[in-house]
């Protein structure tokens, strides 16, 4: 213990950026704070790192407390550590981002935390440096989703190709050609036909697919230029 005696110990926080997709637009799960500091303002869900707790574990705990979900896609984004980012006391924040199937959420838990799903288009200003965190997270999501098929994490287990396309269009804020999109996705061999059809569709009912998990895992290691046309839209 004596060896590190003279160094400063610092508060370590975690913040979670939780992405969801409702079929139309990309959403964030945000909290309207009913606690200090910054009472009444919007922020990301966060908390402090506990003794005896791994970083990854802490991020999972925070995510679970808010959404009732475990085993979601959860990835460390970046650590933010400018000196005055938290005006109360110097705190560095290890930020994770998560992709969630919005249908699986625990509504009660979310309400208890005074949280709601907000469209990225109508995102309010957040406290501290949380806006910057969201910017970086969105950039990362765009970057990764063009190279790895992580988009599926935002969809229900059964989905149609047009739904998947709408998701990508929401992530990148762009329009894609239906026919080329379909061809490319099919070429990846990532979709397994269920034989069922989408009963919710208002017009023609599309075919429902599930994800081919074995193939999915292969695409997560290494990368694959999923959607080349999105390259310029992905921040570096």
The residues that touch its own copies, with contacts defined as CB under 8 A, are: 1, 3-4, 7-12, 36-37, 48-56, 76, 78-83, 88-92, 94, 143, 146-148, 220-225, 228, 231-236
45 binds, among its own copies, DNA, none (CB under 5 to 8 A by kind): none
Restricted to residues 162-221, the positions that interact with DNA (CB under 7 A) are 162-163, 177-180, 182-184, 186-187, 197, 201-207
DSSP string of 192-224? Answer: EEEEEE-SS-SSSPPEEEEE-HHHHHHHHSS--
**With CB cut-offs between 5 and 8 Å by kind, which of its own copies, DNA, none does residue 67 bind?**
none
| Beta strands at 45-48 and 73-80: parallel, antiparallel or unpaired | unpaired
Q: How far is the CB of 202 from its own copies (least distance, A)?
A: 36
What minimum distance in Å lies between the beta carbon of 51 and its own copies? 5
Contact status, residue 24 vs residue 170, Cβ threshold 8 Å? yes
Q: At what angle do helices 178-188 and 161-172 cross, to 10 degrees?
A: 110
Residue 118 or 233: the one with the smaller Cβ distance to its own copies is: 233
Task: Return d(Cα 37, Cα 23) in angstroms, integer.
Answer: 34
E strand or H helix at 65? helix 55-67
Span near DNA by CB under 7 A; candidates 48-56, 84-92, 167-175, 222-230:
222-230
Nearer to its own copies, 89 or 195 (CB): 89
CB of 170 to DNA, least distance (A): 14
Using alpha carbons, select from 46, 131, 127 the residue that is nearest to residue 94: 46
* CA dihedral over 81, 85, 86, 88, signed as positive or negative: positive
The residues that touch DNA, with contacts defined as CB under 7 A, are 160-163, 177-180, 182-184, 186-187, 197, 201-207, 225, 228-229
């Amino acid at each position: 213990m004596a060896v590190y005696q003279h160094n400063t110990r610092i508060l370590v926080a975690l913040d979670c950026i939780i992405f969801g997709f409702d079929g139309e637009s990309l959403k964030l799960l945000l909290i309207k704070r009913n606690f200090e500091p910054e009472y009444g303002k919007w922020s990301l869900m966060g908390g402090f790192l506990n003794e005896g707790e791994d970083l990854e574990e802490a991020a999972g705990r925070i995510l679970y407390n808010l959404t009732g979900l475990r085993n979601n896609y959860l990835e460390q984004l970046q650590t933010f550590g400018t000196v005055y980012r938290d005006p109360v006391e110097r705190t560095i924040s290890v930020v994770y981002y998560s992709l969630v199937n919005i249908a699986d959420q625990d509504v009660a838990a979310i309400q208890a935390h005074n949280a709601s799903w907000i469209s990225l288009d109508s995102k309010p200003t957040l406290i501290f440096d949380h806006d910057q965190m969201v910017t970086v997270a969105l950039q990362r999501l765009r970057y990764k989703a063009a190279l790895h098929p992580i988009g599926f994490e935002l969809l229900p287990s059964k989905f149609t190709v047009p739904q998947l396309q709408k998701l990508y269009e929401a992530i990148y804020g762009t329009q894609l050609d239906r026919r080329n999109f379909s061809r490319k996705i099919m070429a990846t061999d990532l979709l397994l036909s269920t034989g069922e059809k989408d009963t919710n569709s208002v017009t023609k009912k599309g075919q429902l697919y599930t994800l081919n998990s074995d193939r999915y895992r292969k695409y997560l290691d290494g990368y694959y230029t999923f959607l080349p046309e999105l390259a310029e839209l992905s921040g570096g």
